């Protein structure tokens, strides 16, 4: 038998490569939901990237999911922009979640301009987060948003219908919300880690 | 004292050429009927043999295809004043001389650095605006004017050097009264040096006090006697297009010129612009494009981009023959401050500029913030405003609010909280009397719904606890 070589020598000489991805810098953008942070590879939202949130219906907790993040970001120097929200944000309700409404910019845009406006906001670098509700966004459009989010160091959130789940997406994170039998979040794709097999419960409080 | 002189040898021609993208032969003509003659010709025209002073008919015999535009003295005057406004950026003492601008720069050097640096700044500005120029500096404005007429780039910084520099200036270039400048060479006096050496009494007897005053102003022995230029409080620039334009795209080039002129003018006044109007003139009437900004701005690229976005939305009813940019509201400009420890990326677009860009394409009201009012009715409890008092509502409020309530269809919802009775609005006729509940639908949506007091049907949905 040949001489026994300690494994650490091989590793130090970089002759053996461990099949493990680069660990992501953790905890820059916590979601505010401890159970969700625990299963996400970056310990929260992927920083400077697009997160896609897929819903079966409106009013199933989609804002509740992001409001802790928005409350935290609204205390910072950069603005939070909502592009073409489907309803009016209720000031009293958002404030109950701790959001400073003076930092929230609402952009009304027609369907044709939603993606343009979102991209401009993301690219500008002066927005901490941009939330958009695009109805007709294809793979190309989402990729543009992803690139713009990276360039402007902003969090991008795209809220879309659940039927888009079967289409591939360039988003760094895809979450699917489920309302029945109970409010849960499925991680459908997350860059830099394995997709957790189990959903995360989303406790729903009124305020 | 140090005066800079910017001589503008081609003011009339540059004013016409700078708004053109092509460079075909072009001349400016003055006079009427058969006496029309060329007063200025561009490089392409001169190459073809056209000369200043030539009759238009002679020029037409030399060259078949060239453009002849009327020489407009009032337009030249307008450009002259515009450039004075640009120069006003560098000095508070600016005056107009024939085909030249003089400005006192000795105090400006503290701010802008040495004379060569200031000179290069002036040249860069004029080059960017598209005006040919010669620049010189001297202790008196009239001497600077004379030096600029002789050669470009002369700088005479002290009185000693000035006396020396004036020695060999030929009288024909000395800008002295014509009577003296014509007669003196006949007497053997050909340079300023010779003239300055002559006894003053004899000169006064021969040519009058006018010549002596001109000489004293040249050497600085008498005050310059110039009228100080004051920039006007409004900006008005009109460009006539060379042909009728039917597509908006063809207006982009002149627009870029106009907005950069506006920017240069604003930099001269250290001001900004908050509102301006573009008038697209047709054969009959005109189309107005109003550009409004949230805060005063003066950056050329931004003004252009915003004006262009507004312009692109315009439907032209008729071809455009001229364009005019009018700005009456020129408030002080306050540059945006930035933090040393700013978390934004280095090339970030400020939020103000982002807002302008969005408004330019999406409309004036496209970007807004919501704040709460003191009205308890949900429909009136919030409005578009910059004010937000931060008052905390103790009862549950949804996160999405509908503009108007909609009937809740399907099976009766499950009640999670409530009722909260709102009975208010009696003072303005918009009275409401409702019991609000937090409900959950069969699909698991949480809603904010109301029904008539004491009842549990006829649900109207007013928002989502999303």
pLDDT in tens, A139-150: 889 999 999 998
B247 and B150 in a common domain: no
* Chain A: residue whose CA lies nearest to B417: A206
Q: Which residues of A touch B363 (CB under 8 A)?
A: 108
As a whole number, mean pLDDT of residues B411-436 equals: 87
* pLDDT of amino acid A80: 94
- What are the residues whose beta carbons fall under 8 Å from the beta carbon of A174, sequence distance 6 or more? A51, A52, A54, A165, A187, A188, A189, A190
For the ranges A46-55, A97-106, B383-392, the lowest mean pLDDT is seen at B383-392
CA–CA min distance A192, chain B (Å): 24
Residue B323 belongs to some domain of the structure? yes
For the ranges A171-185, B151-165, B329-343, B429-443, the lowest mean pLDDT is seen at B329-343
Picking from A126, A129, A176 by the largest number of B CB atoms within 10 A of its own CB, the best residue to mutate is A126
Q: Which pLDDT tens digit goes with each residue over A68-83?
A: 999 999 998 889 999 9
B257 and B136 in a common domain: no
Residue B227 belongs to some domain of the structure? no
Q: Which residues pair with A129 in a beta bridge?
A: A80, A155
The residues in A 183-202 lying below 8 A from B, measured between CB atoms, are 183
Q: Which domain holds residue B440?
A: 382-464
Q: B227-234 — which CB contacts under 8 Å span 24+ positions?
A: B227/B95, B227/B96, B228/B93, B228/B94, B228/B95, B229/B81, B229/B84, B229/B88, B229/B94, B229/B95, B229/B96, B231/B84, B231/B85, B231/B88, B231/B265, B231/B268, B231/B269, B232/B81, B232/B85, B233/B330, B234/B326, B234/B327, B234/B328, B234/B330
Query: Coil, strand or helix: which one is A151?
Result: helix
Bigger pLDDT: B390 vs A108: A108
**Is the predicted pLDDT of residue A26 greater than 60, yes or no?**
no
The residues in B 326-365 lying below 8 A from A, measured between CB atoms, are 339, 342-345, 347-351, 353-355, 357-358, 361-363, 365
Residue A33 belongs to some domain of the structure? no
pLDDT band at A2 (very low <50, low <70, confident <90, very high): low
Interchain contact A205–B (C-beta under 8 A): no
A126–B396 CB contact, under 8 Å: no
Q: Which residues of A touch B443 (CB under 8 A)?
A: 56-57, 60, 179-180
**Is the predicted pLDDT of residue B387 greater than 70, yes or no?**
no
pLDDT band at A11 (very low <50, low <70, confident <90, very high): confident
B215 and B90 in a common domain: yes
**Is the predicted pLDDT of residue A207 greater than 70, yes or no?**
no
- What are the residues whose beta carbons fall under 8 Å from the beta carbon of B91, sequence distance 6 or more? B4, B103, B104, B105, B107, B108
* pLDDT of amino acid B234: 86
B112 and B198 in a common domain: yes
Interchain contact A175–B (C-beta under 8 A): no
B342–A120 CB contact, under 8 Å: no
Beta strand B370-372 pairing with B382-384? antiparallel
Distances (CA, A) of B415 to A12, B378, B443: 64, 20, 14
Give the per-residue SS3 of chain B: CCEEEEECCCHHHHHHHCCCCCCCCEEEEECCHHHCEEEEECHHHHHCCCCCCCEHHHHHHHCCCCEEEECCHHHHHHHHHHHHHHHCCCCCCEEEECCEEEEECCCHHHHHCCHHHHHHHHHHHHHHHCCCCEEEEECCHHHHHHHHHHCCCCECCCHHHHHHHHHCCEHHHCCCCHHHHHHHHHHCCCEHHHHHHCCHHHHHHHHCHHHHHHHHHHHCCCCCCCCECCCCCCEEEEEEEEEEECCHHHHHHHHHHHHHHHHHHHHHHCECEEEEEEEEECCCCEEEEEEEEEEEECCHHHHHHHHHHHHCCCCCCCCEEEEEEEEEECCECCCCCCCCCCCCCCCCCCHHHHHHHHHHHHCCCCEECEEECCCCCCCCCEEECCCCCCCCCCCCCCCEEEEEEEECCCCCCEEEEEEEEEEECCCCCCCEEEEEEEEECCCCCEEEEEECCCCCCCCEEEEECC
CA–CA min distance A9, chain B (Å): 42
Residue B256 belongs to some domain of the structure? yes
Nearest to A90 among B355, B365, B398 (CB): B398
**Which one of B305, B329, B353 terminates a domain?**
B329
Residue B350 belongs to some domain of the structure? no
A90–B443 CB contact, under 8 Å: no
Interchain contact B377–A (C-beta under 8 A): no
* pLDDT of amino acid A25: 55
Q: Among B46, B48, B83, which Cα is nearest to B62's?
A: B48
Residue B424 belongs to some domain of the structure? yes
B158 and B75 in a common domain: yes
Structural domains of chain B, count: 3
**Is the predicted pLDDT of residue A1 greater than 60, yes or no?**
no
Quick one: what percent of chain A has pLDDT higher than 70?
91
Q: Which domain holds residue A73?
A: 48-201
Residue B305 belongs to some domain of the structure? yes
Q: Which residues of A touch B398 (CB under 8 A)?
A: 90, 93
**What strands lie across the sheet with B3-7, from one edge to the other?**
B94-97, B100-104, B3-7, B134-138
A90–B400 CB contact, under 8 Å: yes
Interchain contact A71–B (C-beta under 8 A): no
Q: Which two tokens stand for residue B305?
A: 């981009």
**Is the Cβ–Cβ distance between B408 and B449 less than 8 Å?**
yes
Interchain contact B464–A (C-beta under 8 A): yes
CA–CA min distance A142, chain B (Å): 20
* pLDDT of amino acid B270: 82
Residue A207 belongs to some domain of the structure? no
H/E element, A83: strand A79-83
> Residue A41 has what DSSP assignment?
T
Geometric angle at alpha carbon A104, from A98 and A106, rounded to 5°: 135
pLDDT band at B332 (very low <50, low <70, confident <90, very high): confident
Q: Which residues of A touch B381 (CB under 8 A)?
A: 91-92
A59–B445 CB contact, under 8 Å: yes
Q: Which residues of B touch A180 (CB under 8 A)?
A: 443-444
* pLDDT of amino acid B294: 74
* pLDDT of amino acid B343: 61
* pLDDT of amino acid A19: 64
A78–B343 CB contact, under 8 Å: yes
Q: Which two tokens stand for residue A45?
A: 């939202």
Query: Coil, strand or helix: which one is A131?
Result: strand
Nearest to A102 among B342, B369, B443 (CB): B369
B258 and B184 in a common domain: no
**Is the Cβ–Cβ distance between B280 and B323 less than 8 Å?**
yes
B437 and B315 in a common domain: no
Q: Which pLDDT tens digit goes with each residue over B15-46?
A: 888 767 667 888 888 888 778 888 888 888 88
pLDDT band at A187 (very low <50, low <70, confident <90, very high): very high
Residue A43 belongs to some domain of the structure? no
B14 and B121 in a common domain: yes
Residue A72 belongs to some domain of the structure? yes
Nearest to B399 among A56, A93, A106 (CB): A93
**Is the predicted pLDDT of residue B391 greater than 80, yes or no?**
no
Interchain contact A95–B (C-beta under 8 A): yes
CA atoms within 13 A on the CB side of B248: 14
* pLDDT of amino acid A85: 93
**Which one of B192, B219, B246 terminates a domain?**
B219
> Residue A196 has what DSSP assignment?
P
B307 and B283 in a common domain: yes
B390 and B298 in a common domain: no
- What are the residues whose beta carbons fall under 8 Å from the beta carbon of A141, sequence distance 6 or more? A115, A134
Question: For position B293, which CATH number holds?
Answer: 3.30.1490.100
What values do phi and psi take at B283, rounded to 5?
Answer: -60, -40
* pLDDT of amino acid A27: 63
Interchain contact B400–A (C-beta under 8 A): yes
**Is the predicted pLDDT of residue A22 greater than 90, yes or no?**
no
The residues in A 42-61 lying below 8 A from B, measured between CB atoms, are 56-61
**Which one of B159, B189, B219 terminates a domain?**
B219
> Residue A178 has what DSSP assignment?
E
Interchain contact A67–B (C-beta under 8 A): yes
B283 and B208 in a common domain: no
For the ranges B7-11, B329-333, B344-348, the lowest mean pLDDT is seen at B344-348
Q: Tokens 């310059």 correspond to what residue?
A: B224
B308 and B255 in a common domain: yes
Q: Which pLDDT tens digit goes with each residue over B65-101?
A: 888 888 888 888 888 988 998 888 888 889 999 889 9
Counting one residue from A and one from B, how many pairs have CB atoms under 8 Å apart?
181
Residue A35 belongs to some domain of the structure? no
Structural domains of chain A, count: 1
Q: Which residues of B touch A58 (CB under 8 A)?
A: 400, 445, 464, 466
**Is the predicted pLDDT of residue B390 greater than 60, yes or no?**
yes
Residue A169 belongs to some domain of the structure? yes
A58–B464 CB contact, under 8 Å: yes
Q: Tokens 């509908």 correspond to what residue?
A: B402
Bigger pLDDT: A3 vs A164: A164
**Is the Cβ–Cβ distance between B425 and A164 less than 8 Å?**
no
* pLDDT of amino acid A12: 76
Residue A34 belongs to some domain of the structure? no
Average pLDDT across chain B, whole number: 86
* pLDDT of amino acid A122: 92
* Chain B: residue whose CA lies nearest to A77: B343
- What are the residues whose beta carbons fall under 8 Å from the beta carbon of A54, sequence distance 6 or more? A160, A161, A162, A164, A165, A174, A175, A176, A177, A188
Distances (CA, A) of B315 to B251, B287, B310: 13, 9, 11
Q: Which pLDDT tens digit goes with each residue over B165-175?
A: 888 888 888 88
Question: For position A192, which CATH number holds?
Answer: 3.40.50.300
């Amino acid at each position: 038998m040949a001489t026994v070589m300690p494994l650490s020598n091989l590793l130090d000489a970089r002759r053996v490569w461990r099949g493990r991805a680069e660990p992501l810098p953790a905890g820059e953008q916590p979601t505010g939901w401890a159970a969700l942070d625990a299963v996400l590879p970056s310990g929260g939202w992927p920083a400077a990237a697009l997160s896609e949130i897929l819903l079966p219906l409106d009013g199933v907790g989609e804002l509740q999911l992001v409001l802790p993040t928005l409350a935290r970001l609204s205390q910072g120097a950069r603005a939070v922009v909502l592009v073409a929200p489907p309803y009016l944000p209720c000031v009293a309700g958002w404030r109950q979640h701790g959001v400073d409404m003076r930092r929230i910019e609402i952009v009304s845009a027609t369907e044709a301009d939603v993606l343009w406006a979102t991209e401009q906001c993301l690219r500008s670098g002066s927005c901490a987060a941009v939330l958009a509700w695009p109805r007709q966004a294809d793979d190309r459009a989402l990729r543009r948003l992803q690139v713009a989010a990276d360039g402007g160091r902003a969090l991008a959130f795209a809220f879309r219908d659940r039927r888009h789940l079967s289409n591939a997406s360039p988003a760094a994170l895809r979450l699917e919300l489920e309302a029945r039998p109970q409010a849960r979040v499925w991680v459908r794709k997350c860059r830099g880690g394995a997709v957790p097999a189990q959903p995360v419960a989303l406790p729903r409080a009124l305020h | 004292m140090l005066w800079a002189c910017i001589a503008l040898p081609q003011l009339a021609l540059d004013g016409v050429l700078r708004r053109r993208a092509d460079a075909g032969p072009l001349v400016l003509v003055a006079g009427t009927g058969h006496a029309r003659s060329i007063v200025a010709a561009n490089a392409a025209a001169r190459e073809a043999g056209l000369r200043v002073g030539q009759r238009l008919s002679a020029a037409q015999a030399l060259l078949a295809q060239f453009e002849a535009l009327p020489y407009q003295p009032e337009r030249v005057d307008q450009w002259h004043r515009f450039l004075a406004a640009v120069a006003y950026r560098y000095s508070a003492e600016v005056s107009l001389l024939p085909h030249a601008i003089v400005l006192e720069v000795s105090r400006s050097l503290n701010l802008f650095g040495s004379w060569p640096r200031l000179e290069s700044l002036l040249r860069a500005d004029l080059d960017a605006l598209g005006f040919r120029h010669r620049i010189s500096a001297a202790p008196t404005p009239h001497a600077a004017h004379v030096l600029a007429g002789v050669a470009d780039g002369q700088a005479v910084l002290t009185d000693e050097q000035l006396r020396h520099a004036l020695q060999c200036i030929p009288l024909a270039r000395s800008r002295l009264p014509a009577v003296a400048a014509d007669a003196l060479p006949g007497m053997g006096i050909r340079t300023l040096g010779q003239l300055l050496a002559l006894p003053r009494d004899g000169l006064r007897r021969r040519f009058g006090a006018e010549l002596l005053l001109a000489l004293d102003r040249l050497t600085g022995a008498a005050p310059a006697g110039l009228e100080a230029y004051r920039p006007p409080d409004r900006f008005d620039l009109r460009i006539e297009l060379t042909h009728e334009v039917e597509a908006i795209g063809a207006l982009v080039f002149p627009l870029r010129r106009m907005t950069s002129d506006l920017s240069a003018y604003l930099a001269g006044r250290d001001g900004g612009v908050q509102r301006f109007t573009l008038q697209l003139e047709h054969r009959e009437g005109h189309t107005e494009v109003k550009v409004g900004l949230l805060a005063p701005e003066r950056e050329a690229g931004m003004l252009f981009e915003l004006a262009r976005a507004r312009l692109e939305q315009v439907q032209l009813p008729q071809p455009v023959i001229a364009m005019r940019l009018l700005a009456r509201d020129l408030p002080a400009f306050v540059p945006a401050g930035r933090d040393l420890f700013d978390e934004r990326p280095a090339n970030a677009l400020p939020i103000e500029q982002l807002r302008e860009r969005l408004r330019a394409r999406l409309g004036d009201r496209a970007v807004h913030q919501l704040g709460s009012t003191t009205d308890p009715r949900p429909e009136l409890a919030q409005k578009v405003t910059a004010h937000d008092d931060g008052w905390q509502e103790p009862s549950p409020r949804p996160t999405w609010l509908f503009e108007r309530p909609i009937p809740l269809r399907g099976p009766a919802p499950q009640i999670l909280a409530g009722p909260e009775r709102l009975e208010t609005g009696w003072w303005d006729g918009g009275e409401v009397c409702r019991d609000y509940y937090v409900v959950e639908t069969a699909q698991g949506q949480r809603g904010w719904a109301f029904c008539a007091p004491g009842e549990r049907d006829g649900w109207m949905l007013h928002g989502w606890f999303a």
